[in-house]
Amino acid sequence: LTYKDPKLLGYLEQNIKCLPLWVCLKAKSKDSNWYMDSGCSNHMTGDKDQFIFLKPKDGGNVTFGNNSKEEIEGIGTISNKSSTTIENICYVSGLKHNLLSISQLCDKDFRVILESTHCVVISIITNTSKFIGFRHDNVYIAHLNNLHAQDV
């Protein structure tokens, strides 16, 4: 704090008190958003805490769009608070987003329908909707905590 008038400066110096101030700029909770990715060959996450089962994996890498590579450290199953489980998820330490592979869903007998505002994942076997994702900033996002599917 500065001021040009020396009389005021003395007054200010004597009357300034330090008060603690806590500011929360951003509170981060666990990300339950899963990004539907047509260019991703496997489901993957960097959040180890989401796994209910995780088997360590020796070898194997993921190559990203910028040609950087990260090691796949494990493969397992994740679950939410309801009965939804998603199997064969790769654990890639440091990955910032949860990715659902559209091709992996299709390989497990699901149909993925992309609409202008949302996407729907439907079981080909039972012809039932498993979950809906919503489009946000040109990306389709499924919220794992809102899924009520059986197994994906």
Beta bridge partners of 77: 53
DSSP 60-124: -EEE-TTS-EEE--EEEEEE-SSS-EEEEEEE-TT--SEEEEHHHHHHTTEEEEE-SSEEEEEET
Question: Do the Cβ atoms of 54 and 48 come closer than 8 Å?
Answer: yes
Judge whether residue 148 has pLDDT over 70.
no
Q: What is the model's pLDDT at position 25?
A: 38
φ and ψ at residue 33, rounded to 5 degrees: -75, 135
Residue type, 23: V
* Average pLDDT taken over every residue of the chain: 80
Q: What is the tens place of the pLDDT at every residue in 60-70?
A: 888 888 888 89
**How far is the C-alpha of 151 from the C-alpha of 123, rounded, in Å?**
10
In 3D space, the residue among 101, 102, 119, 121 whose CA is nearest the CA of residue 111 turns out to be: 121
Name the CATH code of domain 31-146 (choices 2.30.29, 3.40.50, 1.10.540, 2.40.70).
Answer: 2.40.70
Judge whether residue 39 has pLDDT over 70.
yes
pTM over 0.95: no
Looking at the chain, the number of H-run helices and the number of E-run strands are 2, 12
Q: Where are the domains of the chain?
A: 31-146
